Amino acid sequence: MHAATAFNLVLVSLIAIIALEVLAKRLRLPPAAALLVGGVAMAFVPGLPPFELNPELVLVVFLPPLLMYGAYFFVWDDFKRNLSGILLLAIGAVAFTTLVVGVAVHLVVPALPWAACFALGAVVSPPDAVAAKAVLERVALPRRLMVLLEGESLLNDAAGLVLFRFALVAAMSGVFSAPRAVASFAGLAIGGIVVGIVAGFITVKLLRALEDDYLVITTSMLASWVSYVAGEELGVSSVIATVTCGMVVGWHQHEVFTAAQRMRGTAFWQVVVFVLEALVFVLIGLSLRGIAVRLGGVGDAFSLLGPATAAVIVVVILSRFVWVFGVEAVKSVAWSVTGRKRERGDEAAVPDWRAATVVSWAGMRGVVTLAVALSIPEAMPGRDLIVFAGFAVILVTVLLQGATIGPLIAWLSLTRGHERSSRHLAEPQAWARMEAAQLAAIQPLVHDAEGKVIHPRLLEQYSYRAGLTKRFEDMEEFPTDARHAHYDVVLAAIAAGRAELLRMHRAGEIHDELLHSLEHDLDLQEIIALHSRG
């Protein structure tokens, strides 16, 4: 495809993204499903040039910033507390799905070599970070479940890619060693962690040295690709390297970034991630045409590969249920044998069948599955089946599971509620301590050498805030009505100030430069008030 044609196709895709996002909101559909269907529809528009998805390019362009963004905001304390559950999903469920799918495919297509069957299993086994984030960010789940699913999506690509690599080598060479595969996986993972830590600390050092906001934001974006490419070049897990780098930078963000850098950087990252996520689903849909042409047409592909593909889809969905519910069953037996009682803070070890149902259903596949399938050499036995089944699994899981997981959560009454650990302060307690510290900091500064108050308004303001938060510190949360009423007045004052500012500008009473300066102050006040109002 010519470069100008490719650029025009991207522009058309971006326009389609806006239309599909608006349509999805109007019809209350998951945007990921709408984008995927829109991409499929675009693929067969007459006159639209055929689109070939470059697997290596799509992984290196899209995956690093999306992994970095997810890891950047991931809570390290939650990650450590739920590490066993995350690894059981990211490694255990992926390996189990690979095994079960491989066996099922061999039963349906006995002529296909075992290594090729397991390669197909590895391709469809890891739920996708992009698909999971696009779906889960629009549903309300208990914090622990979000941690498990987000943590899984950050790490399972590494497990799936490693399993696929060994299955591919075995299929092409006929040689496979399980001990060697396990040792190699451990080496790739440890190497990825080391590369990620080094890249993360180098990034933090650079961010501390840079003062320009735009250079800081650009450096934070480049860190995702640098850590990923470094992992690739050094022969370790590039996925784990990027995730680790993101966690390191995220841990130090509060000391490294100024308020302006954090606000601008967050806005920049949110727009970039939105565009990348949306483009991924549209490009997946657009790639269907090329896949259909390669396989001789959609009709021929369904007739030849349909039975095996149907078996793969069913096994992919059911194997996750078997694994997740099996883990919950082991928990249940362990609790029955030990006779332990549920205590606050032990939620991660408590069997929860409603949560297990949601985790089992949250197995959407995405760009990694398709990119890995398309990267298979032409000489690989069963390549057409792997590519077709990979796309079918993406289509079914995003459309079926992605569209129904919200209603499923509502039906199971699994909503985000109060989950504060006894180790943590409640919000009113934290505010009371912060306000007390602020009052203590300004008290020596608002008096002159003779003890006379020289900043009475500041002293009054901080004394009032400290007294107010002190009154509410024994509550689990601030009284909502009182907080809303207070900030509604603040927002009304900001709106009146904004209207007067625009009136003065339209009347020619103030310069554009002053308009932008004062408008920025009002924007900051409004952001703070809206955030505080809740």
Listed ranges 177-186, 253-262, 295-304; the one with the highest mean pLDDT: 253-262
Confidence of residue 346 (pLDDT cuts 50, 70, 90): very low
The residue-averaged pLDDT of 282-305 equals: 70
Instruction: Return the SS3 of 510.
Output: coil
pLDDT tens digit string along 97-156? 999 999 999 999 898 888 889 889 989 998 876 666 666 666 667 777 888 888 888 788
pLDDT over threshold 50, residue 351: yes
Q: Per-residue pLDDT tens for 268-279?
A: 998 998 898 888
Q: Could you tell me which residues come within 8 angstroms of residue 32 by beta carbon, excluding any fewer than 6 positions away?
A: 131, 134, 135, 277, 281, 364, 398, 402
Handedness of CA 328, 333, 334, 336 (dihedral sign): positive
On the question of pLDDT at 473 being above 80, the answer is no
Q: Which of 171-180, 304-313, 480-489, 510-519 has the lowest mean pLDDT?
A: 171-180
Q: What is the dihedral of CA 223, 226, 230, 236, to 10 degrees?
A: 50
Q: DSSP state, 399?
A: I
**Long-range CB contacts (within 8 A, 24+) of 524-530:** 525/490, 525/494, 526/491, 526/494, 527/263, 529/487, 529/490, 529/491, 529/494, 530/487, 530/491
Place of tokens 């002159």: 448
Cβ proximity of 30 and 135 under 8 Å: yes
Mean pLDDT (the chain) is: 81
- Count the alpha carbons within 13 Å of 276 in the hemisphere toward its beta carbon: 22
Q: Contact 15/38 with Cβ under 8 angstroms?
A: no
Res 290 pLDDT > 60:
yes
Residue 343 has pLDDT above 50, yes or no: no
Give how far Cα 406 sits from Cα of 134, 256, 297, 319, 403, Å.
12, 37, 35, 21, 7
Q: Which two tokens stand for residue 338?
A: 């030990």
Which residue in 138, 135, 158 sits closest to 240, CA to CA? 158
Instruction: Choose among 41, 45, 56, 48: nearest CA to 8.
Output: 48
Question: What region does 256 belong to: left with phi over 0, alpha with psi -120 to 50, or beta?
Answer: alpha
DSSP string, 341-377: PP-TT-GGGS--HHHHHHHHH-----HHHHHHHHTS-
The residue among 2 and 151 whose pLDDT is bigger is 151
What pLDDT, on the 0 to 100 scale, is given for residue 427? 61
Strand partners for 499: none
- Spell out a b/e string for 497-519, using b for 16 or more CB atoms within 10 Å of the CB, else e: bbeebeeebeeeebeeeeeeebe
* Predicted TM-score (pTM) of this structure: 0.77
Q: Is the pLDDT of residue 344 over 50?
A: no
pLDDT, tens digit, 9 for 90 and up, residues 310-334: 999 999 999 999 999 998 888 777 7
The more confidently predicted of residues 483 and 503 is: 503
Q: What is the DSSP letter of 48?
A: P
- In the structure, what pLDDT confidence band is assigned to residue 245 with cuts at 50, 70 and 90? very high
Residue with the bigger pLDDT between 532 and 351: it is 532
DSSP state letters, 54-94: -HHHHHHHHHHHHHHHHHHT--HHHHHHTHHHHHIIIIIIH
Q: Is the dihedral of CA 145, 150, 151, 156 positive or negative?
A: positive
Predicted confidence (pLDDT) per residue in 425-466, tens digit: 666 676 677 777 777 887 788 777 777 888 787 777 778 777
419 has a pLDDT exceeding 60: no
Query: With respect to CATH, is domain 54-287+299-336+348-411 assigned 1.20.1530.20?
Result: yes
**pLDDT tens per residue, range 15-64:** 999 999 899 888 877 787 888 888 888 887 877 777 777 777 878 888 89
**CB-count burial class (<10 Å; 0-12, 13-18, 19+) for 281:** buried
pLDDT band, residue 478 (cuts 50/70/90): low
What per-residue confidence (pLDDT) applies to 385? 86
What are the percentages of helix, strand and coil residues in the chain, rounded to 5?
80, 0, 20
pLDDT over 50 (residue 345): no
DSSP state at residue 112: S
In the chain, where are the structural domains located?
A: 54-287+299-336+348-411, 426-478, 479-534
Alpha helical stretches, state H, 109-237: 114-124, 129-136, 143-173, 178-209, 213-233
Q: How confident is the model at residue 205 (pLDDT cuts 50, 70, 90)?
A: very high
State residue 210 phi and psi, 5-degree precision: -85, 140
- Position 300 scores a pLDDT of 57
